[in-house]
Amino acid sequence: MHCQKNLLRKIITFAFLIVNADIAHSHHSSAMFDKNVIRHVDAVVKEFQWANPHVWIQIYIENQNGKQEEWSIEGLGTNGLFRKGWRPNSFKPGDIIEIKFNPMLDGSSAGGFIGAKLTNGKIFGRW
Amino acid sequence: MINKKNILKFIFMIVFQWALILLPINSYAQNTSTLPDWSGVWERYEGNGGMFDISTTKPPEGRAGRPGVRQYPPLTKIWEEKYKKNLELVAIDRLPDPISVCGTPAGFPRLLALPDVYEFIVRPEQTWIITENGPNIMRIYTDGRTLPEPDDRWLTYTGESVGHWENKTLVFKTISMIGEKSTILDRSGMTLSDQAEVNARMFKTDEGLLRAELVIEDPIALTEPWYVTRHFRRLMTGTRVYDYACAENNRNPITNSGKTLTLGPDGKPIDIEF
């Protein structure tokens, strides 16, 4: 039970259309993401790929067995994110964050970014 | 023989020749001073839903690419069937967006409904529409040329455009677009045929928006003209536009079956089903 704090917290939501604005209209279809599910997890940043057509946040998440798993979280492109306040160093390796994302429909270890909160309280995306 | 008559004739010829030289310059200067100010950086105004025609989209707040979301242009029977098939493919993630391959333009008229920002470069001889989410540069010639003859053109993403100014309104016509072969209008799967033509009027509204009024005609896809209006709003002064190198880190290649994959940082598919 003690691990549950770090386990994926699955929140079934109604699919309010606006919720997924940050992954919609990327350079490809976002059909692979489950927009009806928001996962809210604690994570450690492994790498932040600041590049187009999408930024990617590589994170470590503790799985149900207590092991660290690497996940790939996809965001929008650099240009629009920069204008929303993101920077190439917004996420640094080792940063501890809370992150929300729409997981892949097939259960694989990736997701579409919704929002993230750093330990200093800074928020990116929707929170 | 030098006499008064010949001197006058000589002066007249000199003046006439200079007038011929200066006339285009004066005309250019006049045009420049009367052109509208569309400078700066703009973004689309019609929300982030990505549907090309907001006015006929159902449900009204529906987002392109979501199952069940569509628009209702005056489609011919054959095109309605095509659109329905595409909608079904969208629902199962098997309708890849042509621009997802990175490198090909979205094309016209879709380029008026893209994310990221726009620049509208107005010059007397042509107007350029440049989209940050590219590659898209549309050239609308306003130097008096006509559309190319059939033997002098081929189907392209942005087509061939010529126009003119009516006061502060850019009036233009676009033909010779590549159509359904290589473009879609939005991620609901709406397309046009390569016979489509667009007559457009672009002008700044009293509210400061840039408004594009499109009349789309397509003898194969549409039963009657399709009226679509798009708006753009100017972003704050100093907003910059950046490179958009789509192939820089494309971790979503498309399979031959049309499925969009997701690659891990090692370049291998993450997808369990793959």
* Greater pLDDT, B107 or B94: B107
Classify residue B17: in a domain, yes or no: no
Q: Is residue B34, in this structure, part of any structural domain at all?
A: no
Task: Please report whether residue B139 resides in a domain.
Answer: yes
pLDDT of residue A6: 45
> Can you tell me the mean pLDDT for A20-41?
74
- Taking an 8 Å cut-off on Cβ atoms, the answer to whether A25 and B48 are in contact is yes
Whether B273 is in a domain gets the answer no
How does the average pLDDT of chain B come out, rounded? 90
pLDDT digits (tens, 9 = 90+) for B5-22: 776 776 666 665 665 554
Chain centroid to CA A97: 10
In chain A, the percentage of residues whose pLDDT exceeds 90 is 72
Domain of residue A22, residue span: 2-125
Q: What are phi and psi of B11, to 5 degrees?
A: -60, -40
Average pLDDT, integer, range B240-256: 91
> A59 near A73, Cβ under 8 Å?
yes
Into how many domains does chain A fold? 1
| Res B50: pLDDT | 82
B262-274 residue pLDDT tens: 999 999 999 886 6
Residue B10 confidence (pLDDT): 66
Residue B266 lies in a domain: no
The span from the CA of B33 to the CA of B102, in Å, is 39
Does residue A30 have a pLDDT over 90?
A: no
B105 pLDDT band (50/70/90 cuts)?
Answer: very high
B241 touches chain A (CB under 8 A): yes
Domain total in chain B? 1
Say whether pLDDT at B129 is over 50: yes
The answer to the question of residue B170 being in a domain is yes
Q: Quick check: B252 contacting A, CB < 8 Å?
A: yes
State the pTM of this model.
Answer: 0.83
Residues of B in contact with A78 (CB under 8 A): 242
Q: Judge whether residue A65 has pLDDT over 90.
A: yes
Identify the CA nearest to A53 among candidates B271, B155, B159, B244. Answer: B244
**Which of B100, B244, B251 has the CB atom closest to A77's CB atom?**
B244
Higher pLDDT, A66 or B272: A66
Segment B219-235 shows an average pLDDT of 98
Contacts of B206 (CB under 8 A, 6+ apart): none
B21 in a structural domain: no
Residue B134 belongs to some domain of the structure: yes
Q: Which of residues 176-205 of B touch A (CB under 8 A)?
A: 187
The pLDDT tens digits for A91-119 are 999 999 999 999 999 999 999 999 999 99
Identify the band that residue A3 occupies on the pLDDT scale cut at 50, 70 and 90. very low
Mean pLDDT of B189-212: 98
A97 sits in the region (left: phi over 0; alpha: psi -120 to 50; else beta) called: beta
SS3 B14: helix
pLDDT for A121: 96
Q: How many residues does chain A have?
A: 127
List the CATH number of the domain containing A52: 2.40.50
Cα B250 from Cα B252, distance rounded (Å): 6
- Asked if A80 lies within 8 A of B115 by C-beta distance, the reply is yes
Domain that holds residue B210: 42-234
